[in-house]
Amino acid sequence: MRHLLKSTLAAAALAVATPALATDIIVVSHGQASDPFWSVVKNGVEKAAEDTGANVEYRAPETFDMVAMSQLIDAAVNQEPDGIVVSIPDADALGPSIEKAVAAGIPVISMNSGSDVSKGLGALLHVGQEEFDAGKAAGEMMAQMGGTNALCVNHEVGNVSLDDRCAGFAEGFGGEVTVLPTTNDPAEIEAKVKASLDSNEEIDTVMALGASLAGEPAVAAVKAVGGEGSINIGSFDLSAGFLEAIKAGDAAFAIDQQQYLQGYLPVAFLALHAQYGLVPGGNVPSGPNLITADKAGQVVELSAQGIR
């Protein structure tokens, strides 16, 4: 009898934990899962799928391509899922497709980029950080450290979120800021940062917008010109390598937007919405969190595991 009772209770718990009907959710981002940053987002998506029992697909264009991304959203709408998660780096390009999803009665949650346009396009809410404000905080921190002449390394010019980071950084920094446009090739970034430092010895600050793609190459470039100790380096987002640089004193700080949450929470919210009609009443800020030398060691291991 005791064994039967245990089996019955276990079955009841499983029934509560597992959706009565299959829940289909499609995630469409502008970032490829092969990108170290977006691989963490995808890890969050997959964990939420595991925890909720939802059927979840992660899709992204092969490169930063808004036409291709809008087509992926349109294709998702045609499948009539129970929810769609989107990033919105370009509202003009992606807005019509997102509005098409909303008009079809499909709940949409935005994540990572697009907090300022998400509600206007009909999304239920946004999970992410306010990029301009995060950039401003980074600029203020660098100014407090004595910086007067900075590079803001933008590896995706045209991505509104990254443009906002540089704009916020410039406002908070207050000194001279040069935006250095690059591709997302770390070798190119290192070469361009080094060339900028070689051509302008007054640069005392480098702000990268992605830790693995730009932050780590920036550290290498500063070392190549012998700028350790005189050029401060900061970066948005985390990587194990950049965190090690912070621990070693080769970089000042990183801004953590906790992108794992940006993948996890929208899927969990849409699963709850499909099952029970539950949804938070507003946007959910996943960051920013400032990671300095005293905190870096705590998150290196989690970063290596694809969680931070």
CATH of the domain at 68: 3.40.50.2300
**Cα dist. 98→22, 83, 104, 278, 280 in Å?**
23, 12, 10, 21, 20
- Answer yes or no: is 38 within a domain: yes
DSSP secondary structure string for all residues of 216-275: HHHHHHHHHTT-TTTSEEEEES--HHHHHHHHHTSS-EEEE--HHHHHHHHHHHHHHHHH
Task: Look up the domain containing 113 and give its range.
Answer: 2-129+258-277
Tell me the percentage of the chain whose pLDDT exceeds 90: 82
The reply to whether 213 and 141 lie within a common domain is: yes
**130: its two tokens:** 């306010």
Q: Phi and psi for 276 in degrees, rounded to 5?
A: -130, -5
Average pLDDT over every residue of 3-31: 60
- Answer yes or no: is 284 within a domain: no
Asked if pLDDT for residue 6 goes beyond 60, the answer is no
On whether the CB atoms of residues 202 and 149 are closer than 8 A, the answer is yes
- Answer yes or no: is 293 within a domain: no
The reply to whether 225 and 212 lie within a common domain is: yes
Asked if pLDDT for residue 105 goes beyond 60, the answer is yes
Q: Would you state the pLDDT for residue 301?
A: 84
The reply to whether 252 and 138 lie within a common domain is: yes
- Answer yes or no: is 292 within a domain: no
The reply to whether 186 and 265 lie within a common domain is: no
CA–CA gap between residue 71 and residue 237 (Å, rounded): 28
pLDDT tens digit string along 178-206? 999 999 899 999 999 999 999 999 999 99
Least-confidence region, from 17-31, 135-149, 284-298: 17-31
CA–CA gap between residue 107 and residue 15 (Å, rounded): 24
Total residues found in the chain within this entry:
308
On whether the CB atoms of residues 286 and 251 are closer than 8 A, the answer is no
The reply to whether 236 and 156 lie within a common domain is: yes
- Answer yes or no: is 308 within a domain: no
Q: Would you state the pLDDT for residue 21?
A: 55
Q: Would you state the pLDDT for residue 164?
A: 94
Count of domains in the chain? Answer: 2
The pairing of beta strand 253-256 with beta strand 289-291:
antiparallel
The reply to whether 61 and 124 lie within a common domain is: yes
- Answer yes or no: is 14 within a domain: yes
The reply to whether 6 and 123 lie within a common domain is: yes
The 8-class DSSP code of residue 62 comes to S
The 8-class DSSP code of residue 119 comes to G
Question: Smallest Cα–Cα separation from 85: which of 278, 208, 304, 261?
Answer: 261
82 pLDDT band, cuts 50/70/90, is very high
The reply to whether 115 and 137 lie within a common domain is: no
Asked if pLDDT for residue 138 goes beyond 60, the answer is yes
The reply to whether 189 and 75 lie within a common domain is: no
The reply to whether 140 and 249 lie within a common domain is: yes
The reply to whether 203 and 272 lie within a common domain is: no
- On average, the pLDDT of the chain sits at 92
The reply to whether 93 and 39 lie within a common domain is: yes
**50: its two tokens:** 């595991």
